[in-house]
Structure 1
Amino acid sequence: MSISTAPDVRPGRLAPAEYAQRFADATPRLTPAQAVLEAERCLYCFDAPCATACPTGIDVPSFIKRLAEGNLRGSARAILEANPLGGMCARVCPTENLCEAVCVRNTQEGKPVAIGRLQRHAVDALMESAHPQLFTRAPATGKKVAVVGAGPAGLACAHTLAKLGHDVMVYDARPKAGGLNEYGLASYKTPGNFAQTEVQWLLSIGGITLHRDWKLRTLAQLDALRMDYDALFLGMGLGTTHQLGVPGEPLGGVQDAVDFIATLRQTDNLATLPIGRRVVVIGGGMTAVDAAVQAKLLGAESVHIVYRRGPEAMSASSAEQAWAQTHGVTIHHWLAPTEILANPTQSNHVGAVRFARQALVGGKLTATGERETIEADMVFKAIGQQLGNPVLAQAGFALEGGRIATDAVGLTNLRGIWAGGDCRAGGLDLTVEAVEHGKQSALAIHAQLAQ
């Protein structure tokens, strides 16, 4: 195959006004009247399956009933008592696979109550009110807890501990708190700087001190935290991305999808962000979809998601896959990358990606011998992340699959240290699950400190 054109990567592919329009809220807010009408569809089931399906155990019928009665503050309380990051989870949680999937209205009529949108309506109303803080701290316990990581798990842990009267110091590697909520989600899912609005609400309870630009790099740092604090929670997420391990990977125009998303999230003027005319995204999860759709929204002419297995194996939900296709992204299955090819007119830059077609033979993924090549000016790698912090092994943490092994409430094999979120082994890598990890570990830490 001959690559037909020189690399085409540049900013400003759209008229200035188009950026705001294209990156507007993907799910417009319900009006008050729409919210009440939707809430009245709820059957307020006893032993409601939607509440059971929620990883944080939100009493869904209770918050919806209060919303229907016009008690938005009470509705938000019912949500945030169970999930202190309920506003963000309402925006990004895969409700179609969790609470809404088991909604009785869904099983009876094929149309669930819009639980996620109602949750957002209640929490947004609280956040925009004159007095958004619902909770007050318990009397001070005199205990100090360190939290490493200001993502969903760390923030949920810190907020729960602060509410119980403990002093919490949160250490994070980034300039802004929020973790993936700030740096790792498509901007059209969380417009209006909501991630920081939620962080400020969480911190406003008091008792939480945030230390930015701090990364766990040495065993001495970990030892100091264990010595200086009564307990330690690790919610550090996954720090490094998997590599493709194919020839041509170092070429210009090849980058991690998470870095692209983070850069986009922190770019004030999207017209200044370069994007290729032809983009290939390798991977099958939500990060791949977020990168692909945003590349298309920035003005890329052709965007391809390429995944090595079939559609049912993709970790991106069917709704996410449909969202990508609706925005003009082509999804290819059963193709594994074998080589990234240089552009002949600019040999240090990507020009195409060569793939080998795959098939399941005896349950094992096997190359069929067929090959396919897709031209690209930019390639985003979205094949997963790993913890990749050598300090953890040096400290003696038990690891499973490269992540920290814990018991059900997040206690590690090292005394006084808990862990949760993506860095914890055996999870679903969902924001809502990370919140529950942080909350449950905080309650366990509180119980331990009270002895």
Structure 2
Amino acid sequence: MAEKKPDVSGKRLPSTAYAANFSDIHPPLDHHEALVESDRCYFCHDAPCMVACPTSIDIPMFIRQIQTGHPVTAAKTIFDQNIFGGMCARVCPTETLCEEVCVREVAEGKPVKIGLLQRYATDAAMAEGGHPFTRAAPSGKKVAVVGAGPAGLACAHRLAMHGHEVTVFEARKKSGGLNEYGIAAYKSVDGFAQREVDFILSIGGIRIEHGKALGKKLKLKDLQKDFDAVFLGIGLQGVNALGAKHEDADGIEDAVGYISELRQAKDLAKLPVGRRVLVIGGGMTAIDVAVQSKLLGAEDVTILYRRGASQMKASAYEQDLAQTRGVKIKHWVAPKKVLVKDGRAVGLRCAYMTVTKGRLEGTGETFDLPADMIFKAIGQSYVDVLGGALELEGGRIKADAERRTSVAGIWAGGDCVAGGKDLTVASVDDGRRAAESINQFLKA
């Protein structure tokens, strides 16, 4: 009799399957395809795509530059507004931003492939080598940036371009933030996140110190004393509670942590995954962990979301992506209790949900779902490591339009600030806005 395999293990698939499953989900356009696609653009004067872009990239301009055979010049147009243009081309939800409002989409249901054209241009520029910007003369000013994610590095790059010396303090071993640790592996392949970091740093004037977490080895008051200005791009460190009985049982995993482990794994075959996987949540993280569980060999993967499909933060495209990969999505369902056996989670007791007079509530009906692994993908929370030094709003750092905080000389951006969109592109915009504000402050 064959030995029964454990319910949670690695090596569920043939060794060759992992590379195929985690290959680039959107292969890049070749030269001919880019020219054909760029020719579809109407080059609108009032460009709704540009208005929809959080970083206000001049999209008609860069597509025209591709069309006329100048992809590296097109990349410069992109990088003027978004130095993370390469990664944003891969992970931005273009289907709900620039491409959603494309005139071709409105008229024909088939938008210009703006994201793929952006990738074509930025890849061409990075392959050519060099850096599209040069530093201004040294200003003699020093700026501390805490966090080497999209917000922090975008801020650091723009400050360096203005001639300031920047020191970036990063808690982890690698730079890149969620671009390195939190994005589905099939969206950013071949170590692109680190290559982009290297490209950004090649402007010069930026030094990164890893293993420096704010509130531990790093104190805000020391940064205020040692630097002329401080930018905080510290992201979200906490994980929201499920609010269900036994949620701390073995077998309950944090989706963000699991994705991080997957992204850093040298051999995906060794990463354990359950046969039956439940994912709680309705955002991009829920989709990413569900799809990747399936690609790792999970037999049955189900996403549970307490409201309807139209209320999910994950776009319709991402929901379709999950379902075409064999992931099931159950709407109007909320977990009430983790089912436990011998100290380990073996399933969820769920309640059917409905909206009554504008309030979400249970119908009184429940059902049980078995599981070997359960992922929480219900959002992250801000952890105040600053001991109340900055004013908060809605549980995150309060910042104005220029990303100035309540304390003079301190700026903040990205996921840690109130009102953030939790998108890479929005974090990049925050970093650039803050850098311009800091530059004006230092010149005063």
- Normalising to structure 1: TM-score of the pair? 0.96
What are the equivalent positions in structure 2 for 1:188-199 lying under 5 Å apart? 188-199=186-197
SS at the partner of 2:212? coil
Instruction: Please state if 1:433 is matched with 2:421.
Output: no
Work out the CA distance in 1 between the residues paired with 2:230 and 2:248: 38
1:276 and 1:378 in contact (8 A); partners too: yes
Work out the CA distance in 2 between the residues paired with 1:220 and 1:295: 36
Instruction: Please state if 1:354 is matched with 2:353.
Output: no
Work out the CA distance in 2 between the residues paired with 1:448 and 1:389: 26
What are the equivalent positions in structure 2 for 1:322-401 lying under 5 Å apart? 322-343=320-341, 347-393=342-388, 395=389, 397-401=390-394
**Identity over aligned residues, as a percent?**
53
Instruction: Please state if 1:403 is matched with 2:396.
Output: yes
Match of 2:151 in 1: 153
Deviation at 1:74, TM superposition (A): 0.2
SS at the partner of 1:369? strand
1:340 and 1:352 in contact (8 A); partners too: yes
2:10 and 2:270 in contact (8 A); partners too: yes
Work out the CA distance in 1 between the residues paired with 2:436 and 2:421: 21
Q: CA RMSD in A?
A: 1.3
Deviation at 1:126, TM superposition (A): 1.1
Range that drifts further, 214-223 or 308-317? 214-223
Deviation at 1:72, TM superposition (A): 1.2
Amino acid at match of 1:214: K
Residue in structure 2 matching 1:287, options 285, 288, 303: 285
Work out the CA distance in 1 between the residues paired with 2:411 and 2:108: 43
2:348 and 2:371 in contact (8 A); partners too: yes
Can you give the 5+ residue segments of structure 2 that lack an aligned partner in the other structure?
Answer: none
- CA offset digits 1:148-202 (Å, max 9, x no partner): 1111100100000001100000011110000000000000000011100000000
What are the equivalent positions in structure 2 for 1:12-161 lying under 5 Å apart? 12-129=11-128, 131-161=129-159
SS at the partner of 1:391? coil
1:239 and 1:389 in contact (8 A); partners too: no
Deviation at 1:290, TM superposition (A): 0.2
Match of 1:417 in 2: 410
Deviation at 1:378, TM superposition (A): 0.3
Work out the CA distance in 2 between the residues paired with 1:389 and 1:418: 15
- Normalising to structure 2: TM-score of the pair? 0.98
- CA offset digits 1:187-240 (Å, max 9, x no partner): 000001110000000011000000111111259711000010000000000011
Deviation at 1:391, TM superposition (A): 1.9
Amino acid at match of 1:224: D
The number of equivalent residue pairs is 441
SS at the partner of 1:128? helix
Can you give the 5+ residue segments of structure 1 that lack an aligned partner in the other structure?
Answer: none
2:214 and 2:385 in contact (8 A); partners too: no
Deviation at 1:132, TM superposition (A): 3.4
Work out the CA distance in 1 between the residues paired with 2:395 and 2:249: 28
Measured at CA, do residues 107 and 392 of structure 1 come closer, stay the same or move farther in structure 2, by a change above 3 Å? farther
Work out the CA distance in 2 between the residues paired with 1:95 and 1:270: 29
Work out the CA distance in 2 between the residues paired with 1:234 and 1:427: 14
1:7 and 1:350 in contact (8 A); partners too: no
2:212 and 2:218 in contact (8 A); partners too: no
Work out the CA distance in 2 between the residues paired with 1:441 and 1:238: 19
SS at the partner of 1:356? strand
Work out the CA distance in 2 between the residues paired with 1:271 and 1:135: 41
Work out the CA distance in 1 between the residues paired with 2:298 and 2:275: 5
Amino acid at match of 1:369: G
Runs of 4+ in 1 over 3 A off after TM superposition: none
Measured at CA, do residues 413 and 30 of structure 1 come closer, stay the same or move farther in structure 2, by a change above 3 Å? same
SS at the partner of 2:219? helix
Instruction: Please state if 1:221 is matched with 2:219.
Output: yes
SS at the partner of 1:271? helix
